[in-house]
Structure 1
Amino acid sequence: MAIDTDAVALDDAEADMTDPVLANAAIWFAPDGFDPSRGVNGRRMAGDSFLRGWIRHGRMPECVALTHGPSDGRAFRDLVASLRPDLPVRVERLDDARAIAPVGTMFFSGPNFATEAWRRSLWGETAYSICGMTHTMSTKAVMEGAFHLRTAPQAEWDAVICTSRAVRSALSAQMDMIDAFLSRRFGGRLPPRPQLPVIPLGIDCAEFQPDPASGAALRMELGIAPEDSVALVVARLSPHEKFDPLPVYLALQQARQGADRKLHLILYGNFPDDYSRRVFMSTADRFMPDVGLHHVPHAGPARRLAALSAAEMFLFPIDNLQESFGIAPVEAMAAGLPVVAADWDGIRDTVDDASGILVPSTAARSEHVTSTGLRYHGGTDSYIQFLGQISAVTALDVRRMAEGVRALMTSPELRARMGKAGRERARRHFDWSVIVPRMQALFGELDAMRRSADSARHPTIAASELPVAPSPMTLFASFPTRQLAQGARFAWLGSDILPVTEAFALRDYMATRRVFETADHVQATAVALEMRGHASAAELAQHLGYPILRVERCLLWLMKYGYAGLEEVPA
């Protein structure tokens, strides 16, 4: 059984909702992936937007999260309470991910969930489904991660949501290469791949309703007259990681020539370094002397909305592998702006002929950049160097870009028509109220596939023998003279120098925020052994009401510090 990817593609019919329990998912939650206050980047911005959309629009009896610990759990509960206070919240530890039941899917905000597939194998592959989502596809970690995922115990009822058709094509191509390699090297029949449905990222369209007053105020602040034309770019302003501005400046200069309106470009966003600032700002006078250039740093949603409200068109001239979807044009469409964008990756799924103008792109062939990829993979070149070299041989049609800008500059009717179409398209296809039901329909179908599988064909793996993470003392059993024998007996040797509690405190294990056992457990074990003089771990465990493994760990520490020893067995 396989999911029909067209069933969840961009222009599908209204998603069919299944049982809310079966269509629910437990969110793999760590604030680093969802909190833009930790540093603005596309992954966090998309993660934050998704999580808020999920909480607001998810049809579910409870909102479930999987976290590493209590602090992350509190952050998740607080977020849900702020957005939907009447929705029950349940937080489970990743250490026991199977506790998400009856929820049958884990949602992981990234494509590389091999680690979670290995974790699941402790309970068998049919324990639950795992669904990831693509973001940037061009990093070494993501590309190698696809290989790790394919060789991990992923299952047919898992999925990687591809945010565009171009991303699905790229991931499918890499999986073809991976499967061909595995077949050549090992032979045999390969297991089914995870599903690769296409579901775009979403936005909250209501957040992008234009604010004419703030737009007019920003124009006044920048010295832009009300009658002037303004093009806007919202992006991370990096020539390495987003777009080369110089061809854009050439296009804007061509568009301005002979026009009876002044043209301005607002660059909204932050420069990652002084080099980027120099490339964007110090070159404009030479490339577009008749176009005004203004930089507005990112300062929160209100400032971004002011920039969108000040503009009459939106530019997204991406020529970079780092961008795989492009949420900014969708936001601009929601604000009623016509878009001039590169015909590049997922942008061609978001911007159609009614809402904007796509500028053709021409890229290098494989043989032009094979060595570039190998240098990056081998560590000779950095990610920035890799992206910059690929971008340098990726061309956007400057003339077509200029024509698109000129058409929008000179035709208020065209701007109004495209702006209206874009606003309707954003609401119909990209609002979270539309995207979340599509995701839940996918989760329901994954759950149905998983439930129909034969669990006997997907056995568990013993935790101590997990191939990628065996128990350390299974792997390193040959390191010590011996391992503690089951049934060993222990003798109390005394505490003449320091009491146990003082020695434990001086060692200060909690400085690392991890401790093998608590001071109370160690002290209680010491007292129990001292009272008896000689005892087995089983005897002490029965007396203390502790698990025997806990007692043995405490006894090993007491041996380490000379408080206890192994009772000699007569020859």
Structure 2
Amino acid sequence: MNTSTALNCVIRVPAKDSYSTSGPTLMGRQSANEGFLTSWFRHSGHAEFWCMARFRDEAQVFARIGEQVHQGRQAKPVYRWIAQQQIHRIRSVGTLYAPGPQVADLAWMRRRDALASATDFSIVGMTHTSCELSIQDGLANMLTAPVYPWDAQICPSVSVQTMVQRLLDDEAAWLREHLGATRVQSPPLPVLPLGVDCAALDLPAADKAQHRARWRQQWALSDRDVCVLYMGRLDLRTKANLLPMLDALQLAAQQLQAENGPRLHLVLAGWFASEWDENQLRAAVAQVCPDVRVVFEDGRTPEARQGVWHAADLFTSLVDNIQETFGLTPIEAMAAGLPVVVSDYDGYRESVRDGVDGMRIRTWQPAAGEGIDLMDGHADLAIDYRDYVSRASAFIGLDIAQAAMAYAQLARDPALRQRMGQAGQQHARRDYDWVQLIQRYTALFTELARVRQQAQKVSHWHHHGQHHNSQWGHRHPRRSDPFHSFSHYPTHTLSGTLTLLPGPLLPTDPKAREKALAQLLERPVYAGIKKELDKAQLQQLLHQVAQAPQGLAWSSWSTSDKETPPVLRHLGWLIKTGLVRVA
């Protein structure tokens, strides 16, 4: 018997490592899935836990995770397995939860089972990254699969929901045009954030002090040193380009040195995605920020994942990549009591309150239509996924001068760090603690059950999505320009009305300026776009910007009639590299 009156669910286990962070190639979605599953075991209040898996060994992994969570409990829960080919058995539980955008595939599986009917149970999926083509196909397939209003695709942020709704609207427009469809049914896209275990991060003062002393001693940090922490996969192309962060930290370090302030230390607690990433990042650290001492720490170990938060003074993550959707690490940092400096981009714009929990750094992104060639190259298999997201990222500008000021301000003001850290900690406990969120998940399951039970009374279903028939999605709803699909991610969209100012890294001397541009063009992380960047044209622009300290209107400079790549998007690269800034 269950001890909870809340509805239960069957959790799909697609693979043995779907809910594990113990492997060598830890991904953000695995961390999020592990957090959900362990919290479901811990906080749902059930005494019976169900999974659906293809094979017994996958179900055994599910049970072992539950046993670890429930270790020491007097009343031992029961773990039950439903084989995938017996999906009709979910009827007795009522909801199937999948850790990805698998609603369409599972809906077909439900339909293929002769013993199942559409109203037997709800199917609920979770959205993590949303820019992979296979994932976009899976999401778009919901419009033509036997998916109903009692099924749902959870979005962890409004940013994700906006992107998914945009994709579905573009797909629906295509179905109306091509097939004459008069009704296209879209499943609900509820916004339910991913969570963190706040109790595991907000430790008693004595434990925090012990962690702080241990790690700072290991890193040779003094009490006056300010430790900036980055936690996550060290992947310059498909996670985050860390060079703007290094540039900003170097500028901040120079400011602090000039005023005899504290010394900045950066701890990169992560794991290299490849040998290339390790070589490039270690070289960049030496070249880009010589005045910041950088420590590499393996962020996969349980000791590091729990302890490094308490040795740091502030956290930073300047994400600039369309593959990011939500971002758990800033929330983990807030739960640990750290102020955060993050980019004003994607889900970070919702989870971090600017000036309250930390500081959000302005971003710019090209307008829809500026990235058609990127998607076409990827869709036609001319460029792979890594190069696709990396090239798109290269044109997303980030204000490194503002980031440098944020780092310096927090470094010199311990009271501000404490105030923002406390605010973020309260924010994390109120809005992102799994203790609270599990109740919201069960409330969703209950609401879907209500819709399902009333289904026989409803003669037709309406599509409530917004109507968006942009030409960029109209080209191919599932292969849209990334700057259309993710147009809502940045702070600003690059446009011809901008006024440009000299950036914090733009030399005043013409020869030094030319050298700086050449060095930036040679950064390996920009190899994929180097050919399309017109060096002479960029030099001309930088010269005019340097000669106009009051500002150069982009519209007054961009008058060439030459057939060139979409030069406006190159402005994002110039902002990212610190050569120009926007007034």
TM-score by length of 2: 0.73
1:83 is aligned to 69
2:254 is aligned to 257
Aligned partner of 1:410 among 409, 412, 419: 412
TM-aligned CA deviation for residue 129 of structure 1: 0.6
In structure 1, C-alpha distance between the alignment counterparts of 2:6 and 2:180, rounded to whole Å: 37
TM-aligned CA deviation for residue 279 of structure 1: 2.4
In structure 2, C-alpha distance between the alignment counterparts of 1:62 and 1:457, rounded to whole Å: 36
1:48-99 deviation digits (Å, cap 9, x = unpaired): 1110011111143522211213222222223223323533332211211121
In structure 2, C-alpha distance between the alignment counterparts of 1:21 and 1:299, rounded to whole Å: 37
Corresponding position: 1:33 with 2:18: yes
- CA gap of 1:125–1:189, structure 2 versus 1, over 3 A, is farther
Task: Point out the more displaced range, 257-266 or 214-223.
Answer: 214-223
In structure 1, C-alpha distance between the alignment counterparts of 2:6 and 2:199, rounded to whole Å: 29
In structure 2, C-alpha distance between the alignment counterparts of 1:373 and 1:360, rounded to whole Å: 25
- CA gap of 1:286–1:177, structure 2 versus 1, over 3 A, is same
Task: Point out the more displaced range, 23-32 or 381-390.
Answer: 23-32
1:96 is aligned to 86
1:339 is aligned to 340
Query: Do 1:216 and 1:226's aligned partners in 2 also have CA atoms closer than 8 Å?
Result: no
Corresponding position: 1:115 with 2:105: yes
In structure 2, C-alpha distance between the alignment counterparts of 1:193 and 1:258, rounded to whole Å: 53
Query: Do 1:146 and 1:175's aligned partners in 2 also have CA atoms closer than 8 Å?
Result: yes
Q: CA RMSD in A?
A: 1.9
TM-aligned CA deviation for residue 310 of structure 1: 1.4
TM-aligned CA deviation for residue 407 of structure 1: 1.1
Q: How is 1:175-190 mapped onto 2 (pairs within 5 angstroms)? A: 175-190=168-183
- Residue type of the alignment partner of 1:52: T
TM-aligned CA deviation for residue 20 of structure 1: 5.3
In the alignment, structure 2 segments of 5+ residues that lack a partner are 461-583
Query: Do 2:232 and 2:299's aligned partners in 1 also have CA atoms closer than 8 Å?
Result: no
1:67 is aligned to 53
TM-aligned CA deviation for residue 207 of structure 1: 1.6
In structure 1, C-alpha distance between the alignment counterparts of 2:102 and 2:382, rounded to whole Å: 24
- CA gap of 1:456–1:412, structure 2 versus 1, over 3 A, is closer
2:118 is aligned to 125
In structure 2, C-alpha distance between the alignment counterparts of 1:20 and 1:182, rounded to whole Å: 44
Corresponding position: 1:269 with 2:270: yes
Q: How is 1:11-410 mapped onto 2 (pairs within 5 angstroms)? A: 23-29=7-13, 30-38=15-23, 39-60=25-46, 62-84=48-70, 85=73, 86=75, 87-121=77-111, 122=113, 123-209=116-202, 211-259=208-256, 260-353=261-354, 354-410=356-412
Aligned-pair identity in percent equals 32
- Residue type of the alignment partner of 1:33: S
- CA gap of 1:111–1:455, structure 2 versus 1, over 3 A, is farther
- Residue type of the alignment partner of 1:238: D
TM-aligned CA deviation for residue 191 of structure 1: 4.0
TM-aligned CA deviation for residue 455 of structure 1: 9.1
SS in 1 for 2:234: coil
- CA gap of 1:249–1:73, structure 2 versus 1, over 3 A, is closer
In structure 1, C-alpha distance between the alignment counterparts of 2:458 and 2:399, rounded to whole Å: 57
- Residue type of the alignment partner of 1:362: W
Query: Do 1:23 and 1:442's aligned partners in 2 also have CA atoms closer than 8 Å?
Result: no
1:322-378 deviation digits (Å, cap 9, x = unpaired): 211100011111111000001111111211131111111111122221110111122
1:420 is aligned to 422
In structure 2, C-alpha distance between the alignment counterparts of 1:166 and 1:20, rounded to whole Å: 33
SS in 2 for 1:190: coil
In structure 2, C-alpha distance between the alignment counterparts of 1:388 and 1:188, rounded to whole Å: 37
- Residue type of the alignment partner of 2:352: V
- CA gap of 1:456–1:434, structure 2 versus 1, over 3 A, is closer
SS in 2 for 1:267: strand
In structure 2, C-alpha distance between the alignment counterparts of 1:195 and 1:358, rounded to whole Å: 30
In structure 2, C-alpha distance between the alignment counterparts of 1:437 and 1:314, rounded to whole Å: 29
Aligned partner of 2:449 among 439, 442, 447: 447
1:200-226 deviation digits (Å, cap 9, x = unpaired): 001111221353223222222222222
- Residue type of the alignment partner of 1:166: S
- CA gap of 1:245–1:73, structure 2 versus 1, over 3 A, is closer
Query: Do 2:26 and 2:300's aligned partners in 1 also have CA atoms closer than 8 Å?
Result: no
SS in 1 for 2:371: helix
Query: Do 2:172 and 2:184's aligned partners in 1 also have CA atoms closer than 8 Å?
Result: no
In structure 1, C-alpha distance between the alignment counterparts of 2:181 and 2:312, rounded to whole Å: 58
In structure 2, C-alpha distance between the alignment counterparts of 1:111 and 1:417, rounded to whole Å: 39
- CA gap of 1:299–1:191, structure 2 versus 1, over 3 A, is closer
Task: Point out the more displaced range, 126-135 or 303-312.
Answer: 303-312
In structure 2, C-alpha distance between the alignment counterparts of 1:200 and 1:357, rounded to whole Å: 21
- CA gap of 1:224–1:435, structure 2 versus 1, over 3 A, is same
- Residue type of the alignment partner of 1:26: V
In structure 2, C-alpha distance between the alignment counterparts of 1:21 and 1:457, rounded to whole Å: 31
TM-aligned CA deviation for residue 254 of structure 1: 1.6
- CA gap of 1:22–1:307, structure 2 versus 1, over 3 A, is closer
Query: Do 2:16 and 2:57's aligned partners in 1 also have CA atoms closer than 8 Å?
Result: no
TM-aligned CA deviation for residue 22 of structure 1: 6.4
- Residue type of the alignment partner of 1:149: M
In the alignment, structure 1 segments of 5+ residues that lack a partner are 1-18, 459-571
- Residue type of the alignment partner of 1:197: P
- CA gap of 1:69–1:428, structure 2 versus 1, over 3 A, is same
Query: Do 1:61 and 1:88's aligned partners in 2 also have CA atoms closer than 8 Å?
Result: yes
Query: Do 1:203 and 1:431's aligned partners in 2 also have CA atoms closer than 8 Å?
Result: yes
1:372-401 deviation digits (Å, cap 9, x = unpaired): 011112211111100110110011111111
1:152-181 deviation digits (Å, cap 9, x = unpaired): 111111101100000000000000000000
In structure 2, C-alpha distance between the alignment counterparts of 1:221 and 1:89, rounded to whole Å: 42
2:536 is aligned to none
In structure 2, C-alpha distance between the alignment counterparts of 1:390 and 1:45, rounded to whole Å: 25
- CA gap of 1:82–1:453, structure 2 versus 1, over 3 A, is same
TM-aligned CA deviation for residue 456 of structure 1: 11
1:409-438 deviation digits (Å, cap 9, x = unpaired): 011110000011111111111111011100
- Residue type of the alignment partner of 1:112: Q
